[in-house]
Amino acid sequence: MKRILTGDRPTGPLHLGHYVGTIVNRVKLQYEYETFILIADAQALTTNFEHPEKLKEDVFHCALDNLSCGLDPNVSTLCIQTMIPEIAELTVYFSNLVTVNQLLHNPTIKTEARYFGFEERYPYGFLGYPVSQAADITFCRANLVPVGEDQLPHIELTRKIVRRFNELYGEVLVEPEALLSDVPRLPGLDGQKMSKSLGNCIFLKDSDYEIEEKVRRALTDPARIHPNDPGHPEVCIVFTYHKAFNRKEIEEIGETCRQGKIGCVECKKRLAEELKKILSPIRKKRSYYEERRDLVIEILRAGTKKAKEEAEKTITDVRKAMRLSYF
Ligand code: TRP
């Protein structure tokens, strides 16, 4: 069976962007691929290093988010990055195979650096996290990595590192491929990049009321003032969401919007209804697991143990290939 590895940074609750970008694919493919989901707590520290105390709750909630979306702990492996120190060791070896310039040119790093206020003063760990992400992906020799579009530069780097490693030391690692979903990038409700601090995302744990309120405030076609003005769905964020979450109605909504026959209020109501339908069973599953904290911890413990065993096998082969055995 081929393998999937993908992961999340536990820095707060996961949102609809994660859902359509990668989680749907994880859940769909988990019976066809041996699936590893890594909770990347060390990567979260690259931007949150001043508050490590938050990780405990964030790691737990990240597990909850995955489980509540239908990740099946009987077939998939949920694991915690820092409890697999082999990943850190691999990162050290990989760091020789990458140049600082390569990292500085990574477009995702540039965007995130601006967002976190790191411009011109990149912490080494932050600049290097894509190298650590390459170690995340290769420790279990994953073939496929379901991700959102923003992660593509990191997968490309991983492929380069793997090729270089195998060329220098021998064929030990597997070159992975990225898997994008049908909605590789979902904008925030205000049209900007989706982000917690901009308050423009719908979280998987949001209540019906929160969904309604957030959708109500979403940005639409700015040229449209009266409900019967002809609209321009191609520039409307709400329409983008209909495309992502309400496929069966998009033709009709697009057409009636263009003709000025459906107003934004009505259009938003219909979107909120669809989102509520999608998120309600997820919320239900979340409360099931939330009430069974010990079960979630057990899932994480068993998953991490299994993942670590894979990492040990890989690191043994890596050290051997690199001739790092002295006695
Ligand atoms: N960088 C990813 C994100 O911000 C999270 C992540 C960490 C990841 N390790 C990974 C994704 C390995 C794919 C594979 O969402």
pLDDT tens digits along 55-96: 999 999 999 999 999 999 999 999 999 999 999 999 999 999
Q: Which residues have any ligand 1 atom within 6 Å of their CB?
A: 5-9, 38, 40, 43, 133, 136-137, 145, 147, 151
Q: Mean pLDDT, to the nearest integer, of 142-149?
A: 97
Q: Measured from the CA of 154, which atom of ligand 1 is nearest?
A: 1
Residue 230 predicted with pLDDT over 90: yes
Tell me which residue has its CA closest to atom 11 in ligand 1.
Answer: 7
- pLDDT (tens digit per residue) in 236-256: 999 999 999 999 999 999 999
pLDDT at 195: 85
Kindly give, in sequence order, each residue whose CB lies less than 8 Å from that of residue 170, ignoring residues fewer than 6 positions away.
321
CA of 298 to the centre of ligand 1 (A): 23
Q: Following DSSP, what letter does each residue of 6-31 receive, concatenated?
A: EEE--SS--BHHHIIIIIHHHHHHTT
Residue 198 predicted with pLDDT over 90: no
The single residue listed with the structure tokens 């409307």 is: 236
152 burial (CB, 10 Å; 0-12 / 13-18 / 19+) is middle
Stated pTM of the model:
0.96
pLDDT at 227: 86
* Cα dist from 258 to 70, 220, 233, whole Å: 37, 13, 7
Token digits of residue 166: 């195998």
